[in-house]
Amino acid sequence: MVQPTDLAIVNGVVRTVDARDTVAEAVLIQGGRFAAIGSASDIRALAGPDTTVYDAEGRTVVPGFIDPHNHLSLAAFEPVSVDCHTPPLASIDEVLDAISRHCRNVPIGQWVRGVGYAVPGVREQRPPTRWELDEAAPNNPFFLLDLTCNAAYVNSLALSQVGISAHTPQPWGGLIVMDHRGEPTGTLYQAALNPFQTASWRAYAHDDWDAATELLHAKMNEYLSVGITSLCDAAVTPDCAELYERADVAGKLAFTVQQLHTADDFFGKPDLRRNDFVERVRGRDSDRLRGGTMKLFVDHAFPDGPAMDRIHDGCRVHTGTAYYNKPEVKDLALGARKLGINTAIHAMGNCSVNTVLDAYEAVRIAEGTDAALLRLEHAYVAEPAQAPRMASLGVDLVAKPGLVYLHGPVFRDVWRGAGQRHLSVIPLRSMIDAGVRVSFGSDAPAGTFKPAEILWSALTRRAIDGDEINIEEAVRPEQALRCYTINSAHAANRASEEGSIEVGKRGNLVVLDRDIITCPVDDVRTMRVLMTVVGGRVVYQDRESLKPAAPQLNLSTDRGPSLS
């Protein structure tokens, strides 16, 4: 690993995001960690002769953004997959044409993956069938992952290779959609897509681990360009764990990755009785690769939505599908804690949120302390009334405000529905006001990974159709910044290491072209990252951000930073 150099930034608006939200003028990094925060004159006086000093010229400096819920091990393979995003593609024919063009250049028999397909984005308002995919990819097993990552669409060759037919029983936690003749249509929901996800991912990674490592490294560099300086991968299978181990050994992890380990397959059922699973979760921590957390899915997205309790004619009516019953979730949460394992539990609907809170209450009672990290992922359609209980249990809510823009209309119109006044779409403000520690994740590639867009969505609550969804749940800029930095560090169990600009913490920071606390909220969406620093090293520079004349923050890689 390249050793960090001493670095100082002066004449900036340094938003430390410490307990007092201190704002300073300058910061000094020595040995990869923050060494001093204060006035420009103080930092200049402390800087040694070999310290590189950047003049920020009034620009804003914030802690590096932390994405506590990202699927990096999926997103890394997007560049070698078929881009089927809808939009910009507007019809199934356009999607099939993109697949066909890609497959013409692929060896016969090789697995091909597609990404980004969303049913609401095409005119037909349905997925492609296996037979349509057969025509587009006649010589290759083809796997098209839905944008939500909760569904997939495959052709006949893929079904044959995995061994799925009309005689295959329905799997635990998933659904193989059949037509009126009892034949698989090619649509797979949740755990039914597991063998296809595993087979196609292995075809990309196992055949060339070096190439897979480079793809991972390239995606991490892309994340650095938007200010992300660490993340949690929210569903790490044994295959993904091997990729991360290889990347770590090769020095290809551009920042720290916290692994949230799932079962053998993406939507699999974790078995705490298996020593190999427990050992993988506990893992071997290094500077850039961490473990210790188990991921658990509690409710489905398809075909009937998450586990919900709605009100009809004054009575609670349950809808949606769960993976487990309430006692099973409690036993898994308690079993994990007995083994010293933290938990991150996916719960989208208000009923599943209650299921998770019941389990976490049992953990708190059993331990007698609030030491365990207890994460609840999503809460896409939840009750503001659930917030006080979540706060009292010390549960970290890892929310995805960026999905308000892309998936908000579905959350509002399909999952919540009309007349459900007790329910809100991603109730951020209610949770924060009740004392819940909320962090912001992306869920990429299910949504944008760009902090600028996610922050803007949290501030405006604007959806792709132009509507403002539950505008009362919009947060203030200073709350949003805290959710994306120090709160996310807590969710990653690394708040003592990063998440704020404080002496002794890792020297991870971002220089922005505007102050996201004071600028108009719509300007947040277009903010640019001028510099990203990880562990005291400049790892990203915007070439066009500043003039190359000294003494100022010259980020041109041709001439290097100006020295003061």
- Per-residue pLDDT tens for 398-411? 999 999 999 999 99
Q: From CA 278, how far away is CA 101, in angstroms rounded?
A: 44
Tell me which of 154, 169, 201 is where a domain ends: 201
Statement to judge: residues 460 and 334 lie in one domain: yes
Strands (DSSP E) along 411-493, which ranges?
Answer: 424-425, 437-440
The amino acid present at 274, given as its one-letter code, is R
Statement to judge: residues 122 and 152 lie in one domain: yes
Statement to judge: residues 162 and 305 lie in one domain: no
Statement to judge: residues 145 and 195 lie in one domain: yes
What pLDDT, on the 0 to 100 scale, is given for residue 544? 56
Does 262 map to a domain?
no
Statement to judge: residues 356 and 472 lie in one domain: yes
Closest CA to 263 of 175, 163, 346: 346
Statement to judge: residues 534 and 464 lie in one domain: no
Coil, strand or helix at 350: helix
470: domain CATH number is 3.20.20.140
Does 537 map to a domain?
yes
Does 288 map to a domain?
no
Q: From CA 341, how far away is CA 332, in angstroms rounded?
A: 11
**CB within 8 Å of 327: residues ≥ 6 apart:** none
Concatenate the DSSP letters of all residues of 181-200 into one string: TS-EEEEEEEGGGHHHHHHH
What pLDDT, on the 0 to 100 scale, is given for residue 519? 98
Does 273 map to a domain?
no
Tell me which of 152, 175, 201 is where a domain ends: 201
Statement to judge: residues 401 and 338 lie in one domain: yes
Does 460 map to a domain?
yes
Neighbouring C-beta atoms of residue 465, cutoff 10 Å: 11
* DSSP letter, residue 105: T
Does 238 map to a domain?
no
What pLDDT, on the 0 to 100 scale, is given for residue 2? 56
Statement to judge: residues 350 and 476 lie in one domain: yes
Note the pLDDT tens digit of each residue in 545-559: 533 224 433 333 333
pLDDT per residue as tens, the chain (564 positions)? 455 679 999 999 999 999 999 999 999 999 999 999 999 999 999 999 999 999 999 999 999 999 999 999 999 999 999 999 999 999 999 999 999 999 999 999 999 999 999 999 999 999 999 999 999 999 999 999 999 999 999 999 999 999 999 999 999 999 999 999 999 999 999 999 999 999 999 999 998 999 999 999 999 999 999 999 999 999 999 999 999 999 999 999 999 999 999 999 999 999 999 999 999 999 889 999 999 999 999 999 999 999 999 999 888 999 999 999 999 999 999 999 999 999 999 999 999 999 999 999 999 999 888 889 999 999 999 999 999 999 999 999 999 999 999 999 999 999 999 999 999 999 999 999 999 999 999 999 999 999 999 999 999 999 999 999 999 999 999 999 999 999 999 999 999 999 999 999 999 999 999 999 999 999 999 999 999 999 999 999 997 553 322 443 333 333 333 333
Statement to judge: residues 78 and 127 lie in one domain: yes
153: domain CATH number is 3.10.310.70
531: domain CATH number is 2.30.40.10
Statement to judge: residues 335 and 441 lie in one domain: yes
Do 204 and 214 touch, CB atoms closer than 8 A?
no
Question: In the chain, how many H helices and how many E strands?
Answer: 18, 27
Count: domains in the chain: 3
Statement to judge: residues 51 and 80 lie in one domain: no
**CB within 8 Å of 417: residues ≥ 6 apart:** 310
Q: From CA 500, how far away is CA 2, in angstroms rounded?
A: 23
Statement to judge: residues 47 and 80 lie in one domain: no
Does 556 map to a domain?
no
Domain that holds residue 521: 7-63+509-541
**Apex 33 CA angle, 29 and 35, nearest 5:** 55
Tell me which of 171, 201, 231 is where a domain ends: 201
